[in-house]
Structure 1
Amino acid sequence: MAEEKAQAAGWFRALRDEIVAAFETLEDAQATGPFAGAASGRFEVTETSRASDDGSDAGGGLMSVMRGGRVFEKVGVNVSTVYGRLGEPAQKAMAARGVPGMDRDPRFWASGISLVAHMQNPHTPAVHMNTRMFWTPGVWWFGGGSDLNPCIEYAEDTAHFHDVQKAHLAPHGEGLYAELKAWADEYFFVPHRGRARGVGGIFMDDRNTGDWAADFALTQDIGRAFLPAYLPLVERRRDTPWTEADKDVQLVHRGLYAEYNLVYDRGTKFGLATGHDANAVLMSLPPMAKWI
Structure 2
Amino acid sequence: MVDFTAEKQRASGWFRQLRNEIVSAFEALEDSHASGPLTNAPVGRFEVTETRRASDDGSDAGGGLMSVMRGGRVFEKVGVNVSEVYGQLGEAAQRSMAARGVPGMADDPSFWASGISLVAHMQNPHCPAVHMNTRMFWTPHAWWFGGGSDLNPCIEYDADTAHFHHTQQAHLDPHGVDIYPALKAWADEYFYIPHRKRARGVGGIFMDDRNSGDWQADFALTQDIGRAFLPAFVPLIEKRRVQDWSDADKDAQLVHRGLYAEYNLVYDRGTKFGLATGHDANAVLMSLPPMAKWV
TM range (shorter): over 0.9
Q: Which residue of 2 aligns with 1:146?
A: 149
Q: Which residue of 1 aligns with 2:15?
A: 12
The one-letter code sitting in structure 2 at the alignment partner of 1:287 is P
The one-letter code sitting in structure 1 at the alignment partner of 2:133 is N
Q: Which residue of 2 aligns with 1:159?
A: 162
Of 270, 287, 290, the residue aligned with 2:273 is: 270
3-state SS of 1:52 partner: coil
Task: Map Cα deviations across residues 163-191 of structure 1 (whole Å, 9 max, x no partner).
Answer: 00000001101211000000000000000
The CA distance in 2 between the partners of 1:151 and 1:38, in whole Å, is 23
Q: Which residue of 2 aligns with 1:290?
A: 293
Task: Map Cα deviations across residues 262-289 of structure 1 (whole Å, 9 max, x no partner).
Answer: 0000000000000000000000000000
Task: Map Cα deviations across residues 176-224 of structure 1 (whole Å, 9 max, x no partner).
Answer: 1000000000000000000000000000000000000000000000000
The CA distance in 2 between the partners of 1:101 and 1:164, in whole Å, is 39
3-state SS of 1:76 partner: strand
The CA distance in 2 between the partners of 1:3 and 1:77, in whole Å, is 25
Task: Map Cα deviations across residues 24-81 of structure 1 (whole Å, 9 max, x no partner).
Answer: 0000001123321122100000000000000000000000000000000000000000
Residue 154 (structure 1) shift = 0.3
The one-letter code sitting in structure 2 at the alignment partner of 1:226 is F
Q: Which residue of 1 aligns with 2:233?
A: 230
Counterpart check, 1:2 vs 2:37: no
3-state SS of 1:55 partner: coil
Kindly indicate whether the alpha-carbon contact (under 8 Å) linking 2:19 and 2:81 is maintained by their aligned counterparts in 1: yes
3-state SS of 2:270 partner: helix
Kindly indicate whether the alpha-carbon contact (under 8 Å) linking 2:37 and 2:242 is maintained by their aligned counterparts in 1: no
Task: Map Cα deviations across residues 113-157 of structure 1 (whole Å, 9 max, x no partner).
Answer: 000000000000000000000000110000000000000000000
The CA distance in 2 between the partners of 1:241 and 1:36, in whole Å, is 12
Per the normalisation by structure 2, the TM-score is 0.98
Counterpart check, 1:33 vs 2:51: no
Q: Percent identity?
A: 80
Q: Note the 1:138-217 alignment, pairs <5 A.
A: 138-217=141-220
3-state SS of 2:256 partner: helix
The CA distance in 2 between the partners of 1:154 and 1:37, in whole Å, is 27
Q: Note the 1:82-121 alignment, pairs <5 A.
A: 82-121=85-124
Counterpart check, 1:128 vs 2:128: no
The CA distance in 2 between the partners of 1:103 and 1:155, in whole Å, is 49
The CA distance in 1 between the partners of 2:107 and 2:129, in whole Å, is 41
Q: Which residue of 2 aligns with 1:63?
A: 66
Q: Which residue of 2 aligns with 1:81?
A: 84
The CA distance in 2 between the partners of 1:103 and 1:225, in whole Å, is 38
Task: Map Cα deviations across residues 219-255 of structure 1 (whole Å, 9 max, x no partner).
Answer: 0000000000000000010011110000000000000
The one-letter code sitting in structure 2 at the alignment partner of 1:37 is N
Q: Which residue of 1 aligns with 2:261?
A: 258
Counterpart check, 1:43 vs 2:43: no
Q: What is the root-mean-square deviation in Å for CA atoms of aligned residues?
A: 0.6
Per the normalisation by structure 1, the TM-score is 0.99
Aligned residues: 292
